[in-house]
Structure 1
Amino acid sequence: MSLSSNRRQNWSLRFAFLCRAGFAAAVLLLAGCEWLLSLDRVPPECWITSPADSAIVSGYVSVRAQAYDSLVVERIDFYADGALFATDSSDYASATWNATALPEESWHQLFCIAYDLAGNAGYSDTISVKIASASQRSVYHGTLSVPAGGYVAVKFEALAGDTLAGEARAASGGVIGRFSWLDDANYQQFRQGATYTAIHEVVGVGELSMTRPVPGAGTYYLVFANSQSSRQTYWARFTLE
């Protein structure tokens, strides 16, 4: 046998050995993963991040959820009134719920279930949402995180004859530094630090509510300002009727 033949044979033997060793390592790794998963008895946590509980919705509704697991989240299932309507394999999941055929002003329940690779299931809290009437449109519903000394503005379009109705409150006993309802021109003045005239304004309150006709068709802003030295969280719900 030639020297080159011996070398080829040696390399073939080495290659075969490495393949067998790699296969054995893969089998051991797989067995280790299965053993690790068999020890996992803790279900994932999951919660719906949007829409907010008691939100007014209509049409095709965007539903978002988040899940956490000590290992891996396999998927999140979305349910409306107990029926599965979507599945997402991300731990920051989103889905679209078709509410176009549902009666106006009817209430419906949404929740999600997150699964991990071990098959454990974690259930979110159930939220309730209301289908808007034909004359009712949502401006904003949810929480607002406002930086210290800063503000958050919610922009919306209104029609002549609309009425703006809503409520807001500061979380954990905080204070809404200033709430202002501004038209587009006065919002630009506000942004520039110039003098402005608000349609409605409240200063230094823990909560507020209002119902007031819109002056006319156009662009408007709801401005939530924080006068505190730390970030504040506000909850707000406003609709046009």
Structure 2
Amino acid sequence: MKKILSILLLIAINTAVFAQYEYRYSDKGNTRYMVTGGVGTGVSYWYSKIENTELYNKYGSAIKKGSLKYKSKTAVTCYDLNVLMPVADIMLGLGVNFETNTMDKIEIRSPGPDVGSIIYDQKFRIEKIYGMVEIPLQAQIINNFILDIQARFGYYGYSGVDRENFFGQMSMPSTYFIGFGPVANYRIIPHTYVYILPSFEYKYFNNNANEYPVNITHKIFTFTATAGVRIDVSRR
């Protein structure tokens, strides 16, 4: 992750240099080269399935065995950093997101005799890297305001998991996510905006195929509201 942050910082610096060169020699109107940082909060809904394995408590003892389906809810706090540059009439970019999840219990959905809630408290972090597309919904900034639509797609890792086997035993699982939402930007001073991004995100997890016949699947639906600062690094 440190390497990813270093690469993103390098891209941000190069974007700023390129933006100043571009604007010095051509008129791009309202085109923006953005460096963005934000903090968000929200909730995730987990729909999970395990087959031929166990659920463990935080002391390493099995509390459920075999195959079952369960659901849970986690409180989410996230920290986001990304860079954007214009390409034709849209903006493309890269970013990283660090998402802390706090879980307190799970609800067994099936099989029938095991249905019910059990304490399953843990706190862990999901670490995402993504590409993004942002489409302005206005041809120009009006009264210091502009509205965009943003879509993200990428993959994620995780750390700090207290429960053994929650994400499987082996590295290199199948993980991906996709998300979208409207971005409301308000310019407070030249080149500096505050923004809010309400968003929906879908994440998928499946453990490494080499763990067969063990199968662990998570389908995660996340709703967040992120706010922060965007700096247009172009020189106009």
Q: Same fold (TM over 0.5)?
A: no
TM-score, L = length of structure 1: 0.23
Higher relative contact order (CA 8 A, sep 6+): 2
TM-score, L = length of structure 2: 0.23
Larger % of strand: which?
Answer: 2
Larger % of helix: which?
Answer: 1
